Amino acid sequence: MLAPTTEQAKPTLRPGRKRLVRRVLQADPGQEYLVYVPATISEKPPLFVSVHGMSRNADQHARLLAGYCDIYGAILVAPIFTAEEHPDFQRLGRVGRGKRADIALNLIVAEVSAMTPASGERFYLFGFSGGAQFAHRYLMANPHRVAAAVVAGAGWYTFPDATRRFPFGTRISNKLPDVRFDAEEFLSVPVTVMVGTKDSTKSGFRRSARLDGDQGVTRIARARNWVSAMKASAEAHHLESRVSFQKISNGTHSFKQSILAAGLGEKVFCALFGPPPVAPNHE
């Protein structure tokens, strides 16, 4: 199992031996992240970002997903959004609720792309639980940055409804003064929504009369309703829908269990990058 080493400023992160590095963001010494560069990468490797949930288990995300990055030749980034610095990271970081998580991720991606051959212009985004909340809201606010996304086990969603203020809808909010939602842009991003068939835990699952009535009373129901709303919005904008839904057989609301016992890792990387590359036959 990979154990992260800690580094401050370093000009490059080169492929070679497999190594998981915990770094301090040069533009903000209070911000840390994990980065993994496979031993073999292409000239322009994809950049894969994995966002933790409320347990802040970025190390677990990086360790359990690094092997898939070896297979696909992707550089992995796992931002660390602490409770002290980013208490509202799932909703991007509204005014008065800590630092902006979306801005922090942009700075992290820029730093990693400056140290590696990966381009930071468009990256592949994955989030689990609270990280899935962040991921779908990030792509809706920054669709030009995301090549494709997988949203797994989110508790609730921002719907493509311009009549409802963020975070329930995409109406502009003074809590995120510089964020604008362009439906035609975010509806064009390929998104796969995943929920485990055994994801029935109520721990950390936000309930209210408003959410239950609008979105459903289970994670599966809320995921299906969001996918349906995104498809309907695409149709209203005369666009082909890019959103799909997958149940993860035997998956629970445990990231570790979903990866090790329910095949979540394979499904995430296949959704983002397609089937794994086949090694050439030299016989």
User: 175-203: per-residue pLDDT in tens?
Assistant: 998 999 999 999 999 999 999 999 987 77
For residue 6, give the H/E element and its range.
Answer: strand 5-7
Q: Which residues pair with 24 in a beta bridge?
A: 32
178: which DSSP letter? T
Confidence bin at 16 (pLDDT 50/70/90): low
- What's the average model confidence in pLDDT over 76-85? 98
Give the pLDDT of residue 83: 97
69 contacts 38 by C-beta, under 8 angstroms:
yes
CA gap 190, 125 in Å, rounded: 11
Identity at 223, one-letter amino acid code? A
Residue type, 278: V
Quote the Cα angle for 2-139-275, to 5°: 55
Of how many residues is the chain composed? 283
CA 248 – CA 270 distance, rounded (Å): 13
What is the distance between the alpha carbons of residues 71 and 73, in angstroms, rounded to a whole number? 6
3-class DSSP state for residue 52?
coil
CA dihedral (59, 62, 67, 71) in degrees, to 10, reads -170
Average pLDDT over residues 40-54: 94
pLDDT at 282 over 80: no
What's the pTM value of the predicted model, to 2 decimals?
0.92
